[in-house]
Amino acid sequence: MAYLDQTTPEFAVISWLVDLPATQIDVTADFGAGPATFSTTIPAGQYWGFNTNAAGVDLSVPPGEESLMGALAAAVQFLLTDPGSFNIPGAVITPVRLWRETLGVRRLATRFDASGVGGLLAPGINITFPLGNELFFGEKPGGSITISNLTFQGFNDINNAGYYAPYNLTILDTRNFNNTVYSAESISGNRTEVVSWGNEKEGRVLTFPFVYAAYVYDYRRSLPVFSNVALTDVDDPNNLLQRVREAAVGGGQNFIFRVFQDNAEYSESYLIQQDRLDNLDGYLEDVSGNGQLFSVSIPFRTINKVGAL
């Protein structure tokens, strides 16, 4: 069981369910008979933006636990093993989460590892999204993911949808605990009673002390003068504080966030504070004085913990 001081900057990762439309993928590969392309569709549904097991692998099963990247890996693996497609029974595609920096862009990337594919030839396994929805999976419009025939590894280019992780070396984790309690005593004072409704409730405030504006606002992310210093991509609409508030507002009744402090360790939490639902101002303190760096505080009501403190 890990504390945040042991897992930063990779964690905390705040994840939520994303409503994904049915999404077609095309997979092109050459296994010795020349390049071939086969297609499948990832079903429409709700998928977690981030949901890993203890090994850092994004989940594709069971139902209700699937992540976006786990579902994508499962779809690619289906085409590789399907007798009517590539027909390679031993093929396995594993989506591993890790922080990395490529071409000046830092992100929580997914690395797709391929095994059991035998004599794969150039150009590797190429995954494209011919009918759109690629931004859900961390790809630019028209982009693709290539699992190299040399390394059997492939990376997504930008942040996928459904999570927030602003890459801070220091994170403040402040908690308070309360009960709904009624106490009474008799007039004489010789009889008292305390009644408690429900379990103890935990309030948790995560504070990221120094967050670039490009991790807060869409309009800052899209401007190179703000995005370049944060090592983000101007075309990337994901991993923004704006997306957290939108998820809380648009999620309906009992919308649950998962606040990960390590792989497979998270608390299920609500975001219910009215000022945070109305706008972004309640989350932010401008620590730079000119709108470039913010202290971001996100208050949660914890309802359940899975392997987490």
> Does residue 7 sit within a domain?
no
> Does residue 84 sit within a domain?
yes
Residue pair 49/136 in contact (Cβ under 8 Å)? The answer is: no
> Does residue 167 sit within a domain?
no
Higher model confidence: residue 100 or residue 182? 100
Whether 152 and 30 map to the same domain: the answer is: yes
Contacts of 81 (CB under 8 A, 6+ apart): 87, 88, 89, 90, 91
> Does residue 201 sit within a domain?
yes
- Amino acid (one-letter) located at 238: N
How many structural domains compose the chain? 2
Residue pair 224/233 in contact (Cβ under 8 Å)? The answer is: no
Using the structure block, give the residue that is written with the tokens 């730079």: 288
pLDDT (0 to 100) of residue 175 = 85
CA pair distance 263, 239, nearest whole angstrom? 18
- What residues make up the domain containing 83? 17-161
pLDDT (0 to 100) of residue 272 = 83
Cis check: omega of the bond before 230, within 30 degrees of 0? no
> Does residue 261 sit within a domain?
yes
* Residue 225: pLDDT over 80: yes
Average pLDDT along the chain: 91
pLDDT (0 to 100) of residue 12 = 95
Residue pair 208/295 in contact (Cβ under 8 Å)? The answer is: yes
* Residue 102: pLDDT over 80: no
Whether 138 and 226 map to the same domain: the answer is: no
Using the structure block, give the residue that is written with the tokens 């971001």: 296
Whether 203 and 152 map to the same domain: the answer is: no
27-41, 259-273, 274-288: least confident range: 274-288
pLDDT (0 to 100) of residue 278 = 83
CA pair distance 43, 161, nearest whole angstrom? 16
Contacts of 198 (CB under 8 A, 6+ apart): 179, 180
Confidence of residue 260 (pLDDT cuts 50, 70, 90): very high
Q: Answer with the one of 161, 182, 216 that is the final residue of a domain.
A: 161
pTM of the model: 0.91
Whether 186 and 291 map to the same domain: the answer is: yes
Per-residue pLDDT tens digits for 204-223: 999 999 999 999 999 999 99
> Does residue 272 sit within a domain?
yes
CA pair distance 25, 90, nearest whole angstrom? 21
Cis check: omega of the bond before 89, within 30 degrees of 0? no
pLDDT (0 to 100) of residue 51 = 97
CA pair distance 208, 176, nearest whole angstrom? 18
43-52, 168-177, 256-265: least confident range: 168-177
Per-residue pLDDT tens digits for 282-308: 899 999 988 899 999 999 999 888 988
